[in-house]
Structure 1
Amino acid sequence: MSDAPVKTPPRILIVAGSDSSGGAGIQADIKTVTMLGGYAMTAITALTAQNSVGVQGVEPVSADFVAAQIDSCLSDIGADAVKIGMLGSPQVVEAVAGRLHGTGLPIVLDPVMVATSGAQLAADETVAAMREHLFPIASLLTPNLPELARLMNTELSDRESIHTASGLLVGTTGCSVLTKGGHGEGERIEDLFVPVEGRWAEFDDPRIETQHTHGTGCTLSSAIATLLGHGVPMEHAVRLARKFVRAAIRNAPGFGAGHGPLGHQAVRSLD
């Protein structure tokens, strides 16, 4: 047995909903954090009955109990970074923001508003609460194209309009933005990283033809948060997290009749 000191894993607090099928939400987040060498903690905002073909039921968690979960984690274990996903109500948004304000932690906010199917997952009041209370304390937003269009109240008709909207979102929120291009058309996926300061970065990769993409957004944002917790600079964290997601897609186990889960467990390392 080696006498070398054990490296302390970064502590990642995940605030999101639970996916009973294990493909997305808290379950995908925990797998991602663990595979990337982090220690995962959770504040669950909703319980869902769902699988690869859809959501069969949702049981929201009260704002007070979400706040209690955050308090339990931060008062004892502490945290090095935070990932926020599905929130569900303005009350939960305000409770989460109240607990995280002033902590100075890197916060990756995946503004879950539009499902892959196109279904609206957040009411206008919840989006407004995120804009008022969470965007000012977030380090990075990770909207997909429909979410970016909704946030900026605009149509994204081409590459130029996506670039413009992304830049305006950074300017109005004061946090960095990673616009995910998976909802776009064509054989390649183009993601755009716009930092608060510094140069923009574009990521362009061939689209992986598969139906097994459940939880890609959750996985990406949790991977970025974990890497930030390790002390990786944000642009490089985005680059490595995208690599992680693509490897997990390629190693999907093929479960489910619909949009199946990723293969987080098959990803061993990132260079």
Structure 2
Amino acid sequence: MTPPIPWPTALTIAGSDSGGGAGIQADLRTFAFHRVHGTSALTCVTAQNTLGVTRVDALAPEAVVAQLDAITSDIAVQAIKTGMLLNQDIIQAVATSLEQRPTPVVVDPVMVSRTGAQLIDDNAIAILIRTLIPQAHILTPNRHEAQLLSGLDISTLADMEAAARRIHQLGPQAVLVKGGGMGEPLRGTDVWFDGHEVMVLATEAVDTRHTHGTGCTLSAAIAANLALGKAPLTAAKDGKDYVTRALNHALAIGQGQGPVGHFFPLLVDQP
């Protein structure tokens, strides 16, 4: 019998989005697009659609860790991403669990939405900064999260660069400050800093209101590229390119903000 072919595998630790636009659902679709097997550890269940979130139920920290243990005790995982961890107990449990694993981790901090709404409380943020962010191989804060982490106001490219440098001092190996929520001319511009050089990653700004799940999708795409063996900066560049192309085929579904088109090659000929 021919032995099974080793297959690149990634793990997402995040919440469920019942509307399918973000969270675990977006992550697994992104992994699949990259031909990376997706595994998942659920942190919370949300009731949401394109109009917003109406309920959030957290899993017990022990249940989250049990999922991590079940996956990693059996399946070789080449990259991990974290998304919505929701509260301080889950953050602490995940951080403690990941300390025992050498796998590269992409941390999407999910502390503040791109509109500026704080998503987790101050105690959870403090624990995230102290325990999980220092373990990140790549940290992907949006503008508001970067402001919180750096203590700087961000309105210019120079501000983004200064924030990336300051956030790097918190311990991650590399920081990607995202400019997706910023106005022109910085919309579509991110800033990378890995402790050695600052690099501006700029792509076209896509004119669409259907951007739900872009942050989840980017961090998942970066993790998928790491699982494929790409270097961190290449993984970030390719992940950003994927999100841009997916935004160009965003889905106008529901009455609110639709998701990006994760399987955009299948949508090219669609109306």
| TM-score by shorter chain over 0.5 | yes
Q: What is the rounded CA distance, in whole Å, between the counterparts of 2:241 and 2:172 in structure 1?
A: 26
Contact 1:135/1:175 (<8 A) preserved = no
Q: Distance in 2 between matches of 1:142 and 1:219?
A: 11
Change (3 A) 1:167 1:64: same
Cα deviations by residue, 1:61-114 (Å, 9 ceiling, x for unpaired): 111111111111011113111000000111111111111113111100000011
Alignment partner, residue 157 of structure 1:
155
Unmatched 5+ stretches in structure 1: none
Once the two structures are superposed, the pairs formed by residues 88-127 of structure 1 within 5 Å of their partners are 88-127=86-125
Alignment-derived partner of residue 41 in structure 1 = 39
Contact 1:248 1:267 in 2 (8 A): no
Deviation at 1:249, TM superposition (A): 1.0
Map of 2:56 onto structure 1: 58
TM-superposed CA distance for 1:267, in Å, is 4.0
Q: Structure 1 250/174 Cα, relative in aligned 2: closer, same or farther at 3 Å?
A: closer
Q: CA deviation at 1:7?
A: 5.2
Instruction: State the Cα distance separating 1:53 from its structure 2 match.
Output: 1.1
- Alignment RMSD (CA, Å): 1.6
The two structures have a TM-score, normalised by structure 1, of: 0.93
Correspondence for 1:194: 193
CA deviation string 1:3-39 (max 9, x = no partner):
x997532111110000001000000000000110111
Aligned residue number for residue 148 of structure 1: 146
CA distance in 2 between partners of 1:161 and 1:155 (Å): 7
- How do 1:112-261 residues align onto structure 2 when only pairs under 5 Å count? 112-187=110-185, 188-196=187-195, 198-261=196-259
More displaced stretch, 249-258 vs 48-57? 249-258
Q: Find the aligned partners of 1:13 and 1:242 in 2 and give their Cα distance.
A: 19
User: How far apart are 1:174 and its partner, in Å?
Assistant: 4.0
Contact 1:182-1:190 at 8 Å conserved across structures: yes
Say which is worse superposed, 181-190 or 161-170, in terms of deviation: 181-190
| Paired residue total | 264
TM-score (norm 2): 0.93
What is the identity, as a one-letter code, of the residue corresponding to 2:254?
Answer: G
2:82 corresponds in structure 1 to 84
SS in 2 for 1:203: strand
Describe the superposition over 1:219-253 as per-residue Cα deviations: whole angstroms up to 9, x where unpaired.
00000001001110111111111111111111123
SS at match of 2:71: helix
Confirm or deny: 8 A CA contact 1:35 1:267 kept in the other structure: no
Structure 1 residue identity aligned to 2:96: G
Judge which range, 211-220 or 149-158, deviates more.
Answer: 149-158
AA matched with 2:28? I
| Higher mean C-alpha deviation, range 104-113 or range 243-252 | 243-252
User: Which residue identity is paired with 1:192?
Assistant: V
CA distance in 2: counterparts of 1:267 and 1:244, whole angstroms? 11
For the residues of structure 1 that align with 2:55 and 2:100, how far apart are their CA atoms? 35
- Counterpart CA distance in 2 for 1:158 and 1:229 is 33
Structure 1 runs (4+) deviating above 6 angstroms are none
Which range moved further: 245-254 or 228-237? Answer: 245-254
Residues 16 and 46 in structure 1, CA contact (< 8 A), matched pair in contact too: yes
Q: CA deviation at 1:123?
A: 0.8
| Equivalent position SS for 1:50 | strand
Among 5, 11, 14, which residue is 1:13 paired with? 11
